[in-house]
């Protein structure tokens, strides 16, 4: 789906491994591992999980000798498994040392993230850029509010306090302006050191949503580098999701941002892939890209007397996300934009289900205890049973619909499938 109403800010195109980033290309979803990078098996496994969930690039920390020496092995194992997902090395404090000492690591990575706030010195920053240049790798200048260049900040605060009182910006404003200056000046240094402008991506992440708007709008107006967008340290649970969606979504809706990463704290035991799903849902709910069919479901109310409706809404959502890679592997296309409705009662259920590609309207309290299924506006089945059983029948109808409408070969007709289900229900 194209994002017809929003014009992307024009940028250079930057190639990162097999993926191109910039205004001429789709906005890219990326994520970061939380394994010990030196643990090759665990890191490869998590990269595979993230990539299969839809992370188009994966970043991992490279902080010591063990991690740097593991990187070529990680790349080789992914290549052997047939995954060409671009890998980004995240460097802080000693990137120049590790990249010099481990040239195979420098070769195996597809991009280096350099934090100018902790590169060490101008010479050490330059060393990393030179290694990137020699290896033909792009860099991301990744400024972060928590590790801002303190010398630059002190200088800008000094300049501010020397101004007449009413012209002073104040320390918070200077802090944000220092982040922007750090990103823009560092990018200029990279180009001055001989890197092409098509090898640079910028980011300047903060943890507060209004600050993120200010920083990214300013960056967008000052340069043509692609911007990597994300709210850093967004937090966990609903707070992390809401803050990320607000911060990233509003800027994307203004045409700002070329790659995104959602930095939410996973719940204990929660899969790391959650951040990928949230990033995809941000893009999809804005109408920018489609990744998997989404469920339209009502919140339920006093007209729904049991949890059948919630069970089916949840099961259907999981089914669609789980089934998407299988449908893709079968060569089906276009199903990602399909709309699926799961509704709680007769008030809005049939109407919303008819509007969807395929939808089920569950019976509310006191209603006829069957659940009509609509496909392309016509009723094709009436399901009965408990929540799990209706969910399974509905999933089978969805699968038939996808085969019939998006498959390579025409599958069994949905009407026939629906009739079969209706007959079965009558027998019960
Ligand atoms: S569709 Fe029915 S159950 Fe759902 S919120 Fe509306 S009235 Fe309530």
β-pair partners for 28: 259
Query: Which of 296, 300, 310, 362 is the pocket-test mutation for ligand 1 (most atoms within 8 Å of CB)?
Result: 300
Query: Which of 273, 402, 286, 383 shows the shortest CA–CA distance to 334?
Result: 402
Give me the pLDDT at residue 304, please: 86
pLDDT digits (tens, 9 = 90+) for 10-55: 999 999 999 999 999 999 999 999 999 999 999 999 999 999 999 9
Cα angle: 94, vertex 18, 56; to 5 degrees:
75
Q: What pairing do the DSSP bridges indicate for beta strands 371-375 and 378-383?
A: antiparallel
Helix, strand counts (H, E) of the chain: 14, 17
Give me the pLDDT at residue 267, please: 85
Query: Which of 280, 277, 316 shows the shortest CA–CA distance to 296?
Result: 316
Its CATH class, for the domain covering 14-285, is alpha beta
Ligand 1 atom nearest the C-alpha of 349 is 1
Contact status, residue 265 vs residue 36, Cβ threshold 8 Å: no
349 lines ligand 1 (CB under 6 A): yes
416 lines ligand 1 (CB under 6 A): no
Strand ranges, E, within 278-405: 294-297, 339-343, 358-361, 371-375, 378-383
Query: Left if phi > 0, otherwise alpha if psi is -120 to 50, otherwise beta: which for 255?
Result: left
Give me the pLDDT at residue 305, please: 66
253 lines ligand 1 (CB under 6 A): no
Q: 3.40.1260.10, 3.30.413.10, 1.10.1130.10, 3.90.120.10: which CATH number matches 294-427? A: 3.30.413.10
Count how many Cα atoms sit within 13 Å of the Cα of residue 57 in the half-sphere of its side chain: 28
- Report the separation in Å between the CA atom of 364 and the middle of ligand 1, taken as the mean of its atom positions: 8
118 lines ligand 1 (CB under 6 A): no
Question: What residue owns the CA closest to ligand 1's atom 5?
Answer: 300
pLDDT digits (tens, 9 = 90+) for 161-201: 999 999 999 999 999 999 999 999 999 999 999 999 999 99
Ligand 1 atom nearest the C-alpha of 301 is 8
For residues 40 and 212, what is the distance between their CA atoms, to the nearest angstrom? 35
For residues 376 and 402, what is the distance between their CA atoms, to the nearest angstrom? 12
User: What are the structural domain ranges in the chain?
Assistant: 14-285, 294-427
- Report the separation in Å between the CA atom of 303 and the middle of ligand 1, taken as the mean of its atom positions: 6
Give me the pLDDT at residue 231, please: 94
Query: Which of 370, 397, 373 shows the shortest CA–CA distance to 384?
Result: 370
Question: What residue owns the CA closest to ligand 1's atom 7?
Answer: 347
Give me the pLDDT at residue 326, please: 93
Confirm whether 14-285 and 294-427 share one CATH topology: no
Query: Which of 420, 380, 398 shows the shortest CA–CA distance to 327?
Result: 398
Q: Per-block average pLDDT, block size 10, for the chain (428 residues)? A: 72 98 98 97 97 96 98 98 97 97 98 95 97 98 92 94 95 96 97 98 96 98 98 90 97 98 90 94 96 94 84 93 92 95 94 97 89 97 90 96 86 44 40
pTM of the entire predicted model: 0.90
Query: Which of 357, 325, 329, 330 shows the shortest CA–CA distance to 341?
Result: 357
């Amino acid at each position: 789906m194209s994002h017809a109403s929003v014009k992307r800010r024009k940028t250079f195109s930057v190639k990162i491994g097999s993926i191109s980033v910039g205004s001429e290309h789709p906005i890219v979803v990326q994520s970061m591992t939380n394994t010990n990078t030196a643990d090759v098996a665990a890191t490869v496994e998590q990269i595979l999980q993230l990539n299969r969930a839809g992370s188009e690039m994966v970043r991992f920390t490279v902080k010591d000798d063990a991690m740097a020496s593991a990187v070529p092995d990680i790349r080789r194992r992914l290549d052997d498994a047939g995954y060409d997902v671009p890998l980004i090395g995240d460097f802080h404090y000693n990137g120049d040392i590790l990249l010099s000492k481990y040239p195979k690591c420098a070769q195996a990575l597809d991009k280096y993230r350099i934090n100018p706030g902790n590169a060490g010195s101008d010479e050490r920053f330059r060393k990393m850029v030179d290694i990137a240049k020699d290896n033909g790798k792009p860099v991301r200048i990744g400024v972060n509010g928590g590790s801002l260049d303190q010398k630059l900040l002190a200088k800008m605060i000094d300049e501010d306090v020397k101004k007449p009182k009413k012209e002073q910006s104040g320390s918070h404003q200077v802090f944000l302006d220092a982040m922007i200056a750090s990103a823009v000046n560092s990018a200029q240094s990279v180009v001055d050191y001989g890197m092409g402008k098509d090898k640079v991506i910028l980011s300047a992440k903060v943890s507060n949503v209004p600050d993120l708007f200010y920083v990214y709008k300013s960056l967008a107006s000052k340069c043509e580098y692609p911007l990597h967008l994300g709210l850093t340290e967004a937090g966990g649970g609903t707070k992390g999701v809401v803050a990320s969606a607000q911060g990233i979504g509003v800027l994307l809706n203004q045409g700002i941002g070329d790659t995104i990463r959602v930095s939410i704290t996973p719940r204990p035991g929660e899969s790391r892939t959650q951040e990928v799903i949230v990033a995809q849902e941000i893009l999809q709910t804005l109408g920018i890209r489609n990744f998997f069919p989404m469920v339209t479901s009502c919140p339920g109310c006093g007209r729904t007397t049991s949890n059948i409706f919630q069970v089916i809404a949840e099961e259907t959502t999981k089914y669609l996300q789980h089934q998407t890679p299988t449908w893709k592997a079968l060569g089906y296309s276009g199903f990602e934009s399909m709309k699926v409705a799961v509704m709680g009662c007769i008030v809005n259920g049939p109407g919303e289900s008819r509007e969807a590609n395929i939808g089920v309207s569950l019976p509310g309290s006191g209603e006829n205890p069957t659940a009509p299924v609509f496909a392309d506006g016509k009723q094709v089945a009436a399901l009965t049973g408990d929540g799990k059983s209706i969910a399974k029948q509905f999933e089978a109808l969805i699968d038939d619909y996808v085969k019939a409408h998006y498959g390579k070969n025409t599958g069994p007709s949905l009407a026939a499938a629906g009739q079969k289900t209706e007959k079965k229900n009558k027998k019960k």
